[in-house]
Amino acid sequence: MVYVKFFCNISGEMFFLFKVILRINVYDKFKIICKGEMFMKVRAEKLSKPLFVLLTKSLLMILLVVVGLHWSSSQQHLISIGDKPAMAEQGFIRPANISAVVKQTAPAVVKIETVVQSEVEMDPFLNDPFFRQFFGIQGVPRTQVQTGMGSGFIVSEDGYIVTNYHVIEGASQIQVTLATNKQYRARVVGADRELDLAVLKINPEGKLPTLKFGSSDRIEVGDWVIAIGNPYGLDHTVTVGVISAKGRPVNIGDRRFRNLLQTDASINPGNSGGPLLNLNGEVVGVNTAVNAKAQGIGFAIPSSTVASVYNQLITKGTVAHPYIGVNIQPSQDQRGVVVSGVAPDSPAMTVGLKPGDIILQFNGKTLTTPQELIDAVDQTQPGQKVTLVVVRAGQSKEVQVIIGDKSTRRI
């Protein structure tokens, strides 16, 4: 006897077992007996050997066709799944996400227009004493009026607005235009030139839409951000980009910033003071500057900085700037920081710090980089006494320093 078994999976959901047993007997007649478990017993009688081979090949061909059809069906099933539109994963950026954030936040963004008045001589020749004596005319000053424009955003329902200091610097009049086109006169509640931040106040008739501060510390390089502002007077312009870098030291005019966010979202003149938003609609930065010599390089003040001084600005009108009055640079062996200069009449000069001194510790904290000393000083308050460990000529000593307060500080 010869037995041949075939197994095939007819579908992905049901398994059938076929046991085909071919029994050869030259004197028997061909019979088929089926049992309940899909058992087929094929009995052949009086079949020649070539006929048996032909029958076996035929059964094999049928089996291959069945398996092939099942494989093709499974592949079509896989393709149909892959062709379906993929569902967006959490955090995946789609146009709908951005438009939803803009609809939610844009009503709290405002346009700020300023008027700056200054007195100038009518004619430069009148500054010359010869001409004044010859013509008998005294110099007559005239008032020159300049206008400026920027952006801001509302942070309280009763009308407190955050913007840049340079947007309202020297302004005699400040006008705020809401998204509803309502206009209000604004007054400066607090301002800080060094941080380039200011808080304005308007008196609205009702409650205003507001923006909340998010965490600029948690945002990462590559995260998407949205800038809303009024570049060149184009109200509520929206641009999108990513965080290109964090902690950028940047010099803007005579201001020195140490910890700005860099973004490739388009920031143009007029965007200053507007919000830089994450995809939750939270403020992670205040747009402050753009590199005029390059494209796609803008900067924003981190929200952590803004939130930390906001209460000081609205309650005191100014921000305390702790400093000790030294210029510093990294040490070659990353052991402490090297004093490269001492400011006149500073706390550092009072205690006798000199160029070349190495500051190893600040209030018990070991220092390895200049930024660590800067951060440590920023966390103190003016009038607070701190202890420095200083090395001079190979000898270390402790020095007690009283933190000073200076609007423009070396540290």
Hey, where are the domains in the chain? 6-83, 112-201, 322-405
Q: Is 166 a catalytic residue?
A: yes
Per-residue pLDDT, 77:
40
Strand order from edge to edge, sheet including 6-8: 6-8, 16-25, 39-45, 31-35
CA distances from 8 to 13, 23, 43, 64, 226 (A): 13, 21, 21, 9, 58
Determine the CATH number of domain 322-405: 2.30.42.10
Per-residue pLDDT, 392:
93
Classify residue 153 as exposed, middle or buried by CB count within 10 Å of its CB (0-12, 13-18, 19+). Answer: buried
Which of 151, 166, 216, 266 is labelled catalytic? 166
3-state secondary structure 22-87: EEEECCCCCEEEEECCCEEEEEEECCCHHHHHHHHHHHHHHHHHHHHHHHHHHHHHHHHHHHCCCC
Q: Yes or no: say if 52 and 44 are a contact pair by the CB < 8 Å rule.
A: yes
Alpha helices per DSSP H over 270-339: 303-315
The tokens for 154 are: 């509302």
Kindly give the parts of the chain with pLDDT less than 70.
1-60, 62-96, 120-141, 291-294, 407-411
Domain 112-201: which topology?
Answer: Thrombin, subunit H (2.40.10)
The tokens for 142 are: 């005239």
Per-residue pLDDT, 18:
39
Alpha helices per DSSP H over 145-292: 165-168
Per-residue pLDDT, 360:
94
Q: Is 196 a catalytic residue?
A: yes
Task: Summarize pLDDT for 71-119 with one digit per residue, the tens.
Answer: 555 444 433 333 333 333 445 556 568 999 999 999 999 999 999 987 7
Per-residue pLDDT, 230:
94
Q: What's the one-letter identity of residue 165?
A: Y
Per-residue pLDDT, 7:
40
Of 143, 148, 150, the closest CA to residue 170 belongs to 148
Q: Yes or no: say if 164 and 272 are a contact pair by the CB < 8 Å rule.
A: yes
Which of 272, 303, 331, 346 is labelled catalytic? 272
Q: Is 272 a catalytic residue?
A: yes
Per-residue pLDDT, 397:
93
Which of 151, 196, 244, 357 is labelled catalytic? 196
